[in-house]
Amino acid sequence: MSGAATLTEPRFAAGDIVLVRDDYPPGHIRTPVYVRGKRGVVTRCFGAFKNPELLAIGKDGLPKKILYEVLFKQTDLWPDYAGPATDSLLIDIYEHWLTKA
């Protein structure tokens, strides 16, 4: 075995409040800057996929990472957001970018 563990169980479930890592590593990062350090709510889990951050630099993308759909309030993302307070944004985020809030 190559040492790449296979993920079987997601750490988060729909309804869990999560915090996105506030990190700015170099390379091909799939997590938008404007959600880093922000709280959101997991709405669903898509399952395990090869890590696109590794695939982008010619690696095998292993170990696979769990991908979630996370809901953010627009007013939490943009302090001067002038739209309705109920507006939200759904973003797909990999598990290694999330912690339980």
Predicted TM-score (pTM) of this structure? 0.89
The token pair that represents 68 in the structure block: 């979630």
Residue 56 to residues 20, 28, 43, 61, Cα–Cα distance (Å): 21, 6, 27, 9
* 60 vs 15: CA distance, rounded Å: 32
Instruction: Write down the pLDDT at residue 28.
Output: 79
The token pair that represents 19 in the structure block: 């915090």
Q: β-strand 39-49 against 17-20: which pairing, if any?
A: antiparallel
Closest CA to 35 of 46, 19, 17, 51: 19
- The mean pLDDT values, 10 residues at a time, for the chain of 101 residues are 58 98 88 96 97 93 96 95 96 97 93
Alpha helices, H only, 1-101: 52-55, 74-77
User: Would you identify the CATH topology of the domain 17-96?
Assistant: SH3 type barrels. (2.30.30)
